[in-house]
Amino acid sequence: MPSPAQRKRLITHSEEFHTDDVFATALLLKIFPDAEVIRSRDEAVIATGDIVYDVGKIYDPTTSRFDHHQAQAGKRENGIIYSSFGLLWKEYGVAYCDGDARVAKIIDQKLATPIDAIDNGQETFTPVVESVAPFTIDDIIHIYNPLRWLNADEKHDQQFRKAVTLAQTILDRLRQSTADNLASQQALLDAYAAAADKRIVVMEKPASVSDVLDQCPELVYLISERPEKTWGVLAVAVQPGSFTTRKPFPEAWRAQPAADLPRITGVDDVIFCHATGFYAVAKTRAGAIALARRSLDS
* 114-153 pLDDT, tens digit each: 999 999 999 998 888 988 989 999 999 999 999 988 877 8
Whether 3 maps to a domain, the answer reads no
Domain boundary among 127, 146, 178: 178
Crossing angle, helix 19-31 and helix 84-96, to 10 degrees?
Answer: 30
Whether 190 maps to a domain, the answer reads no
Whether 189 maps to a domain, the answer reads no
Domain boundary among 152, 178, 204: 178
pTM: 0.86
Least reliable range by pLDDT among 25-29, 38-42, 127-131, 286-290: 127-131
pLDDT score at 241: 84
Whether 68 maps to a domain, the answer reads yes
Whether 290 maps to a domain, the answer reads yes
Distance CA 78, CA 73 (A): 15
Whether residue 54 sits in one domain with residue 156: yes
Return the H-helix or E-strand segment holding 295: helix 285-297
pLDDT surpassing 50 at residue 263: yes
Whether residue 215 sits in one domain with residue 167: no
Provide CB contacts within 8 A for 16, sequence distance 6+. 145, 156
Burial 239-258 (b: 16+ CB within 10 A, else e): eeeeeebbbbbeeebbebee
Write the DSSP assignment of 201-218 as a string of letters: EEESS----GGGGGG-TT
Write the DSSP assignment of 34-86 as a string of letters: TPEEEE---HHHHTT-SEEES-SS-EEGGGTEE-TTSGGG-B-TTSPBP-HHH
Distance CA 121, CA 81 (A): 9
pLDDT score at 2: 39
Whether residue 160 sits in one domain with residue 214: no
Greater confidence (244 vs 127) lies with: 244
The arithmetic mean of pLDDT across residues 71-93, rounded, is 97
The arithmetic mean of pLDDT across residues 201-209, rounded, is 94
Whether residue 201 sits in one domain with residue 140: no
pLDDT mean across residues, the chain: 95
Whether residue 246 sits in one domain with residue 126: no
| In the chain, % of residues over pLDDT 70 | 98
Distance CA 9, CA 217 (A): 52
pLDDT score at 116: 98
Burial 261-290 (b: 16+ CB within 10 A, else e): beeebebebbebbbeebbbbbbbbeebbbb
The dihedral region occupied by 54, where left means phi > 0, alpha psi between -120 and 50, and beta the remainder, is: left
pLDDT surpassing 60 at residue 4: no
Whether residue 140 sits in one domain with residue 14: yes
Number of domains in the chain: 2
Whether residue 17 sits in one domain with residue 148: yes
Per the structure, the complete domain to which residue 61 belongs is given by: 9-178
Whether 173 maps to a domain, the answer reads yes
Domain boundary among 178, 212, 242: 178
pLDDT surpassing 80 at residue 1: no
pLDDT score at 6: 66
Whether residue 168 sits in one domain with residue 70: yes
Burial 86-117 (b: 16+ CB within 10 A, else e): bbbbbbbbbebbeebeebbebbbeebbbbbbb
Greater confidence (1 vs 233) lies with: 233
Whether 185 maps to a domain, the answer reads no
The arithmetic mean of pLDDT across residues 94-98, rounded, is 97
The two counts, helices (H) then strands (E), for the chain are: 9, 10
Return the H-helix or E-strand segment holding 11: strand 9-12
| In the chain, % of residues over pLDDT 90 | 90
pLDDT score at 194: 97
Give pairs for 263-266: CB < 8 Å, separation 24+.
265/291, 265/294, 266/290, 266/294
Whether 206 maps to a domain, the answer reads yes
pLDDT surpassing 90 at residue 33: yes
The arithmetic mean of pLDDT across residues 251-262, rounded, is 97
Whether residue 225 sits in one domain with residue 110: no
pLDDT surpassing 80 at residue 183: yes
The arithmetic mean of pLDDT across residues 81-91, rounded, is 98
Whether residue 164 sits in one domain with residue 19: yes
Whether residue 268 sits in one domain with residue 123: no
Whether residue 171 sits in one domain with residue 206: no
